[in-house]
Every structure is written in structure tokens, then in C-alpha cells.
Chain A
């Protein structure tokens, strides 16, 4: 149970596959248009169940409760050896150690 007043994320389907814009390519037309919005939960609710939130601009939005205290977890990714090699090749060329220059 997620308590009323908790900061959460809701998911909803804005347009079902049959309702999508006529100009979208087929791979997109086969998928629904989905939406995620964050806000404060207006009443106790379970994850996966319908819920309502009040957003930071004060709008009331309805959807399926998907996350409690949603966080950002993007970062810098894993090691990319080609970037290290790129830097070294630039430094070699700059120092005049590059046979291509």
C-alpha cells in the first residue's frame, strides 16, 4: 500500500493502437501512445492499481500507479574504449606523433 501524499509516478495510455495519427509509421501505429506523470498521491493505493495524483502545477491526473518515490537512475554508462582511443589519437596528432598528419 502506498500512502496518500506520497510522491509517485502514474502511467496511462493516451491513444490505443487504432486511435493513433494516420501519418505514423507502422511500428509506431502498432503501439499505444503512453504517458508518465508524477505527483502526490490523492488517496492510498496499490502499485498496479488505478490512482489519482496532484501534479506540481496543481493538475489532477488519473492513471495506473507504477512507482513510489520515482528516482532518476541515468548515468554515464559503461566504459567505452573507443572514446579513450579517440582522445589518445587526438593528443598524438596534436603532439605531431601521428603519421597521418
Chain B
């Protein structure tokens, strides 16, 4: 009988993954820090037109781009004269499963079907589960979604419980777990038991799927306004949203800056049972955003296709209260009720637009569906019941896990800058752990690409790290 202890299953991880992803990652490895990222992205042999055609088969993509005139006007009240960019919103909630994750899922499920898998397993507590379930329904494949859903009291996060409902509505089997990174262990056991495809969020398919989003928003902007977006804001968690969007923009010919935005959950441990139900955001937050930006390969595949630091020109954070406030803004000023986590980038845009001239075009690249459990009212009620103080006040006083402070007026909204150099250093430091120094030219070049810098910068950081440790 197979040894299914935690240690034994984790030791078989690579073998399980290889048969569950249908991609041999070793072909891209150089044996050192560097690997051939672009070769990995090209391996599926899918160009953006073909991807778009596949997504159309699933009813995915071609979502509307709305100009948020009232939010723009409100933002301008707090800007210098002549400032306040036009804010545009890509309504990804219009996808069949209600979020941009449908783009990632469509391509993954398509590949699973092409390669002859009978079903798909995915480990996610978020919109991606619903997206995979929706596409499996369309493809006629079986689907299992593994969720981290409950704390040790058996209390489920309402946002995650809602995702479970949606997955079941699409015919999927949902496996629900208590808090802990051993979700991955359960996931591996399920892959081994079923022989299904691993619809990881981090395969090339999952990121290529998002490229159409960047491509579409650039083209829509160009067509309607005769110009590329001046900048695009993307909510950042695991990094796939930002990576795919930026790559897709480049494929359209648009080199505009991409700005990352996350909800600030500083101080809350992601694997903590007690902190679990004190988080009012289950995605789009710094608890994923920071570690995945500085160490992309911590994901569930050998090499992640989501490498956000390659593409982000800026990174800002918002408080939970500011994002809930912006969600209300979208409702009462634009008549659009959308899920709160997806509005992280809109909250950032409200602030960033004030720094940009009036004729600039600032594109917010996603929305997500809302409903029972996944709604400001549900999430704030739940937070209050779990001891989090909810109040109106100065958002700067919010302490994640202890309070959620809704601004008293829109003028209190202010996104906070993350030091990208700090993230770059952190990525380099993590990458060179255990590596023989000095690095070769290919590794230096790779780290320069990983951090949007150059070889001299990477050398400088490494020297600094070595001086610090000697």
C-alpha cells in the first residue's frame, strides 16, 4: 500500500505534478538560477488569436470597457486643476463564471481536454474554482475543487462558502478543508487518486489565458479614444493577473506602465487558524501579493508562469476599508454592483488618477461578481461577528485583523507606495540562496529580467547581501 503520510506524499510531488500538468519543465532549465521563461510560455504553441478563439468557445472574453464618468468627476474634486485621469473599467464580471479567472480556466480546461484527461482538479478558495468548474461544465469534464474554507471552529469564510456553492452549481465536487498549507497535500493525493489534470493558476496556459485581457483592453482603448491606456492598474495576489495583462498589452503593441494594487493585510499570518476569519479579503491582498512577487516559484508548479516583478512599474496598497468604500462608490455613482476584492485596483485608480492629467486614460482591468457571502454587507457583518471593529474614520488608522475603517469622505482615500527596490532585493536574495557565487552572466541577466533592472543592479544587490552576511 502506498505511503500517504504528509512527508511521503510531498516527496512524490514532482512525479505527481509531471503527470498532472502534461508539461516537462526540465526542458527549460539550465541547471542554475536561470531558466528559459519565454521558451516555457511558447511551449504550448498558442498565439493570442488562437487563444481568443478557444476562449470564445467557452463564452469567455470580449468584456465591455466602461468609462466611469461619475467616479472620474469625483476623483477630480480632490486633484489639482487640470488633473484627474479618465477612469475606465474592464468589466470582467461579464465572463460566464463572473471574473477574469474564466480566461485562465478556459485555456487550462481546453488543454486538459486536448490531452485526454477525464477531469480537472484545482486547489483554490477563490473565483478560479468557479471558473474551472464553469469551463469543465462546458467541456464535459469532471471537476474537483479543493478549498481552504473553515477555521478549527468549523466557521466558514462567507466569501469562500459562496465559491463552494457556485462550484457545485456548475456540477463540480468540492472538497473543503480547515486552514493550512497542507491543502496542497490533499490536492496531490486527489491528483494521484483520480489521474486528473492539475489546473494550476501558474502554468503557461493559465497566464497565456490572461494575455487576451491585456490585448483587449489596449485595443478597446485605442479604438475608442485613439490612444493606448496611459497606465493600467491590476489587483495583485499570485501575480498571474498582472503578468498576463502586461504580456497581452505588449502583444497589442502597448508598452504603458502596469501598476499593481493589493489590499494591505500586513501582520496577518496566512496559515494561521486564528487569523483566518479576521481577514475580510481572501484574495487580492498583500499576504499573497508580497511573497508571490518576490518568490514566484513558491507556487504549485516547478516554474511559475506568473512573474509579476518583470512587469510592474509601481506597487501600491489600499486598506480593506478603502476597498469596501470604493465598492460602494461603484454602486451608487455608476450603478454597478461588483464584488469587493476585485475593486482593489479601482480603489487604487481613484487615488492614482489624481496624479495624472485630465486627458490621461487610466484603465482598471477587472471586476468580479458579487452576491450572498461575497459582498461588503456580508463580509463586514462577518468581520464584526468575529471581533473586528468596523467604523467610519481615518483609513490610516486601520489595523488588519483588528479594525476596518471606512473613510468618512472620498478625500481620505490614499494609496500607499510599496518600495519596489525592496521587493527586487528580496527576490534576488531568495533566488541566490544556496547558489554558488559569483553568478554567471546568464544568471545575472535572468535576475535582471526578473526584477526589471540590469546586471549591474543585480551585482550591486548581491554584493550588498554578501557584505551583510559576512
Residues of A within 8 A of B (CB): 14-15, 19-21, 23-25, 27-28, 31-39, 55-59, 72, 74-80, 82-83, 85-87, 89-94, 96, 98, 100-101
Docked pose: A23 CA to B74 CA in angstroms: 46
A25:B375 contact, CB within 8 angstroms: no
Interface residues of B in 394-419 (CB under 8 A from A): 406-412
Q: Which residues of the other chain, B, contact A78 by a CB distance below 8 angstroms? A: 381
Beta-carbon contact of A80 and B6 below 8 Å: no
B271 interface residue (CB < 8 Å to A): yes
Chain B: minimal CB distance from A93 (Å): 5
B residues with CB within 8 A of A: 5-6, 70, 73-74, 77-78, 119, 142-144, 149-150, 152, 154, 156, 158, 161-162, 164-165, 168, 171-182, 185-186, 193-194, 269, 271-274, 324-325, 328-329, 331-333, 372-373, 375-382, 384, 390-392, 406-412
**Can you report 23 A-B residue pairs in the complex whose CB atoms are below 8 A from each other?**
A20-B6, A24-B181, A27-B272, A28-B271, A31-B178, A35-B175, A35-B186, A36-B176, A37-B176, A38-B174, A74-B158, A74-B161, A75-B373, A76-B372, A80-B384, A86-B407, A90-B74, A90-B333, A90-B410, A91-B332, A96-B77, A100-B411, A100-B412
Q: A28-B180, A57-B143 are in contact. Are A77 and B333 (CB under 8 A)?
A: no
**Which A residues are in CB contact (< 8 Å) with B181?**
21, 23-24
> What CA separation (Å) do A31 and B155 show in the bound complex?
14
Known: A23-B271, A74-B158, A86-B325. A14 touches B375 (CB 8 A): no
B182 to A20, Cβ gap below 8 A?
Answer: yes
Output the least CB separation between A32 and chain B (Å): 7
- In the complex, chain B residues whose CB is within 8 Å of the CB of A59: 173, 193-194
Q: Chain B: which residue is nearest A9 at the CB level?
A: B176
Taking CB atoms, residues of chain B closer than 8 Å to A34 are 150, 152, 154, 177-178
CB distance from B391 to the nearest CB of A (A): 6
In addition to A24-B180, A101-B410, 12 A-B residue pairs with Cβ atoms within 8 Å of each other are A33-B178, A34-B150, A34-B154, A35-B178, A36-B176, A59-B193, A74-B158, A75-B373, A86-B328, A90-B328, A94-B333, A101-B411
Min distance, Cβ A12 to any Cβ of chain B, angstroms: 10
Q: In the complex, are the beta carbons of B378 and A77 less than 8 A apart?
A: yes
B180 touches A75 (CB 8 A): no
Residues of B within 8 A of A89 (CB): 392, 407-410
Q: When chains A and B are docked, how far (Å) is the Cα of A39 from the Cα of B408?
A: 48
Question: Chain A: which residue is nearest B143 at the CB level?
Answer: A57
- Which residues does chain A contribute within 8 Å of B274, judged by CB atoms? 27
Given the contacts A32-B178, A80-B376, A94-B70, A85 and B406 also touching, CB distance less than 8 Å: yes
Assuming the contacts A55-B173, A80-B380, asked whether A86 and B178 have C-beta atoms less than 8 A apart, the reply is no
Smallest distance from the beta carbon of B265 to chain A beta carbons, Å? 15
* Bound form: Cα–Cα A96–B174 in Å: 49
Contact between B177 and A14, CB atoms less than 8 A apart? yes
In the bound complex, residues from chain A placing their C-beta under 8 Å from that of B332 are 87, 90-91
Kindly provide the distance from the CB of B123 to the nearest chain A CB, expressed in whole angstroms.
Answer: 13
Kindly state the separation between the CA atoms of A30 and B376 in the bound complex, as whole angstroms. 32
Residues in A whose Cβ lies below 8 Å from that of B173? 37-39, 55-57, 59
Please provide the 10 A-B residue pairs with the shortest distance between their CB atoms, ordered closest to farther: A77-B381, A31-B152, A74-B373, A100-B409, A36-B176, A28-B273, A57-B142, A56-B173, A101-B77, A77-B378
Q: From residue A31, how far is it (CB to closest CB) to chain B in Å? A: 4
Give min CB distance, A88 to chain B, whole Å: 9
